């Protein structure tokens, strides 16, 4: 990723967090980044592609943190716990995540996590599937995918409807799925 692309994405993240994607203006991105509006269009093509690029950029940032936590311990369950805790902590610290998840800009951003969320869900599921496949080698691929997909969906559900016990429900479901059918 070029420095220009990163700078434009950072500005877009800030503006989307403040105004939602409907309030995002290519001219405002350009002005805040100190470039021409045409430069923003040249880089992303249109507003929808810029918004999709922001979603993928933030997802990659998030998944880098998840991978780091998954490998931060020799205990694979503890790695899962740490990565899920990281996801919940990031959601409370990151301005864009807070904006989307607390409902401030949910009407136009939630589809990137729900009805149009396939790219984000697929990437997140693949990270968890890789971890599970590495540590629970006897599980068939279909089962690995089911467990990874369930981790992502249950965590996302708890992110969208927060409770006081955030990590525990995800871990209970994960441990049950991993234990089912094991010797």
Residue 142: per-residue pLDDT: 94
The 10s digit of each residue's pLDDT in 36-76 is 999 999 999 999 999 889 888 888 888 999 999 999 999 99
Higher pLDDT residue, 146 or 157?
146
The 10s digit of each residue's pLDDT in 87-133 is 888 888 888 877 766 656 545 666 666 666 677 789 899 999 999 99
> Cα separations (Å) of 31 from 4, 12, 40, 42, 106?
13, 11, 10, 15, 25
Residue 159: per-residue pLDDT: 81
Residue 24: per-residue pLDDT: 93
Residue 135: per-residue pLDDT: 96
Tokens coding 84: 């899920």
Residue 21: per-residue pLDDT: 84
Residue 60: per-residue pLDDT: 86
The answer to whether residues 58 and 144 touch, using CB atoms and an 8 Å cutoff, is no
Residue 13: per-residue pLDDT: 92
Instruction: Tell me: pLDDT of 181 over 60.
Output: no
* C-alpha 168 chain-centroid distance: 19
Owner of token pair 């799925």 = 177
Note the pTM of the prediction, 2 decimals.
0.81
DSSP string computed for 40-105 = HHHHHSSHHHHHHHHHHHHHHHHHHHHHHHHTSSS-HHHHHHHHHHHHHHHHHH-HHHHHHHTTTT
Residue 169: per-residue pLDDT: 87
DSSP single-letter state for residue 1: -
**Residue ranges per structural domain of the chain:** 55-179
What distance, in Å, lies between the first and last C-alpha atoms of the chain? 46
The architecture that CATH gives domain 55-179 is Orthogonal Bundle (1.10)
Residue 27: per-residue pLDDT: 97
The 10s digit of each residue's pLDDT in 153-167 is 888 888 877 666 678
Residue 18: per-residue pLDDT: 86
The 10s digit of each residue's pLDDT in 9-45 is 999 999 988 888 888 999 999 999 999 999 999 999 9
Query: Left if phi > 0, otherwise alpha if psi is -120 to 50, otherwise beta: which for 34?
Result: left
Tokens coding 8: 């434009």
């Amino acid at each position: 990723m070029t420095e220009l692309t990163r700078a434009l994405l950072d500005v877009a993240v800030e503006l989307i967090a403040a105004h939602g994607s409907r309030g995002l203006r290519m001219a405002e991105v350009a002005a805040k980044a100190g470039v021409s509006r045409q430069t923003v269009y040249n880089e992303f093509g249109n507003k929808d592609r810029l918004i999709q690029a922001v979603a993928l950029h933030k997802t990659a940032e998030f998944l880098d943190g998840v991978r780091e936590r998954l490998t931060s311990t020799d205990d694979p369950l503890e790695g899962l716990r740490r990565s899920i805790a990281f996801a919940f902590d990031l959601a409370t610290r990151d301005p864009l995540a807070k904006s989307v998840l607390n409902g401030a800009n949910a009407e136009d951003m939630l589809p990137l996590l729900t009805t149009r969320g396939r790219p984000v869900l697929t990437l997140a599921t693949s990270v968890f599937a890789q971890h599970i496949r590495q540590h629970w080698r006897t599980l068939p691929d279909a089962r690995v995918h089911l467990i990874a997909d369930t981790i992502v969906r249950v965590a996302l559900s708890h992110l969208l409807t927060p409770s006081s016990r955030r990590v525990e429900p995800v871990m209970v479901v994960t441990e049950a799925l991993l234990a089912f059918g094991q010797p």
